[in-house]
Structure 1
Amino acid sequence: MPRIHVIIPAYNEEHSIQKVIRDIPSGLVAEVVVVDNNSKDNTAGAARTAGATVLFQPLLGYGNACLKGLEYLQQKPATEKPDIVVFLDGDYSDYPEKMPELLQPILENRADLVIGSRALGNREAGSMTVPQVFGNWLATKLLKLFYQVHFTDLGPFRAIRYENLVNLNMQDQTYGWTVEMQLKAAKQKLRCTEVAVPYRKRIGYSKISGTVKGTVLAGYKILYTIFRYR
């Protein structure tokens, strides 16, 4: 069985993080890594109690948190490095129990990168805002136009072969992390596919889609990243 590690970027998710960790199928992963992105609550303590490895990233930003987790994995001895890395959010909007379905295309050697698509799955009413839905639609259309790759979502729930992830040389520190991964995967001719995943309303308040400023900044950064790497 391949060694699978999970990276969960988390900011003020003390009320949800244990649920996320609890719902990861038992025995499936070697390590769950929660990156506390300078939370003001007890996210770190809750995650540690649930059995996760907790890292601290004082620099705010989704990409910064993911990069911290990747840095941790790269520092492991060769015998302990993962074969596959799974990313998911810490707000309990994703369904961690769907991880086997997400991993299946990689385990069957049909894919190098798998995106959990909320657009293809059952989405709870109110789980995504109208700007989020439109932004995902626009971004994936531009990815197809500029990079000749078909996606329906920029969903955070995703799995990728560790070696491929390292070779992508990820750089984005904020909102452009997900789309950067997908467009670089297309540029490097990785085998990319999607799996339909359900999505529910998050626990707590969204730091991005919950504010006009966050929505605008996220949308701008995603579009900027798409055009930057053309």
Structure 2
Amino acid sequence: MTVDVVLPCLDEAGALPWVLTRIPSGWRAIVVDNGSTDGSADVAAGLGATVVHEPRRGFGAACHAGLLAADADIVCFCDCDASLDPGLLPGLVRSVAEGSADLVLGRRRPTERGAWPPHARAGNLALSWLLRRRTRLRLSDLGPMRAARREPLLGLGLSDRRSGYPLQMVVRAADAGWRVREVDVPYLPRTGRSKVTGTWRGTWQAVHDMRRVLDEPVAGGGGRS
């Protein structure tokens, strides 16, 4: 199995060296620069990553650009702010490769106080509850660390290009009958400030984007891996 790791990036020059050295040997890191002004793209390229430039701002835009640039059998997604350790991704990939799951999510477990701000955790819990009502998936986290096969992911027809992208992936996977599971992963204090959930306003905007996804009609298609 070949594996590509998509790392959406906006001004993460300080975190990239640690993140990229944690990518498992033989896997390709695809850093999607989403308009950084701190030299993140140069740092990533200097460390051997494939760099993709996505000028349209938005977490989903960056993630999907990375998915389109990937060509491996399995694609992983991971934040590149050093809050999640890419060295743990083989545990997620194994379930996909062995066929026991179609989409595996990393369920964040904070390692210390402050790693996961209260407002961000509250927003995540609310969305998890709404997701359960919409799909009947009993998930407790919509974390950014995940793994799935590339071709079925493309088949989901993901269209959100903002903060709703991770949720839309889960919703459409559930609609398509995918087996979705969670595994615990340590959640570390990030390097720098979050561009999405670092403030109440950012969290509210993310929840707003995701509520729009939950209002989508039930969709079929996409298939299983």
TM-score normalised by structure 2 residue count: 0.93
Secondary structure in structure 2 of the residue aligned to 1:143: helix
Residue type at the aligned position of 2:83 = S
Contact 2:110 2:116 in 1 (8 A): no
Q: Does 1:15 align with 2:24?
A: no
The separation in 2 between residues aligned to 1:192 and 1:124, in whole angstroms, is 27
Residue 6 of structure 2 aligns to a residue whose secondary structure is strand
- Cross-structure match for 1:86: 76
- In structure 2, give the amino acid aligned to 1:42: G
User: How far did residue 225 of structure 1 move?
Assistant: 1.2
* Percent identity over paired residues: 37
Q: Using structure 1 for the length normalisation, give the TM-score.
A: 0.91
- Per the TM alignment, residue 25 of structure 1 is displaced from its structure 2 partner at its CA by 2.0
| RMSD (Å), alpha carbons | 1.2
Which residue identity lines up with residue 212 of structure 1 in the other structure? W
> What do residues 148-174 of structure 1 show as CA deviations (whole Å, max 9, x unaligned)?
212111100100111210111111111
CA–CA separation in structure 2 for the residues paired with 1:82 and 1:217: 32
Equivalent position of 1:77 in the other structure? none
- Report what 1:96 is aligned to: 86
1:20-31 aligned at under 5 Å gives the runs 20-27=19-26, 29=27, 31=28
Structure 2 contact 119–200 (Cα < 8 Å) conserved: no
What amino acid is the match of 2:72?
P
Paired position in structure 2 for 1:176: 164
Equivalent positions of 1:26-45 (< 5 A) are 26-27=25-26, 29=27, 31-45=28-42
Closer, same or farther: CA 136–229 of 1 in aligned 2, 3 Å: farther
1:54 aligns with 2:51: yes
Give secondary structure in 1 for the equivalent of 2:207. Answer: helix
Aligned counterpart in structure 2 of residue 117 of structure 1, from 107, 113, 126: 107
Q: 1:197, 1:68 → 2: CA distance?
A: 25
For structure 1, the 5+ residue unaligned runs are 74-80
Whole-angstrom CA distance in 1 between matches of 2:111 and 2:129:
20
Residue 3 of structure 1: aligned partner: 2
SS at match of 2:20: helix
Q: Distance in 2 between matches of 1:82 and 1:15?
A: 27
Match of 1:76 in 2: none
Alignment of 1:62-73 (within 5 A): 62-73=59-70
Residue 133 (structure 1) aligns with: 121
Matches of 1:196 and 1:212 in 2, distance apart?
Answer: 26
CA positional deviation for 1:64: 0.6
The amino acid that maps onto 1:50 is L
Q: Name 2:223's counterpart in structure 1.
A: none
Deviation per residue, 1:170-228 (Å, 9 max, x gap): 11111001100001000000111111000011001111222332121111111221122
Unaligned runs of 5+ in 2: 219-225
Q: Tell me how far 1:107 sits from its aligned partner.
A: 2.1
Conserved? CA contact 2:77–2:147, under 8 Å = yes
Amino acid across the alignment from 1:184: R
- Give SS of 2:186's match: coil
Taking structure 1 as reference, are residues 122 and 101 closer, same or farther at Cα in structure 2, changes over 3 Å only? Answer: farther
2:202: which partner in 1?
A: 214
Residue-pair matches, total: 218
> Any idea what the Cα deviations from partners look like across 1:50-104, whole Å, max 9, x if unmatched?
110001111110001111112223xxxxxxx311000001101001111111212
The amino acid that maps onto 2:14 is: H
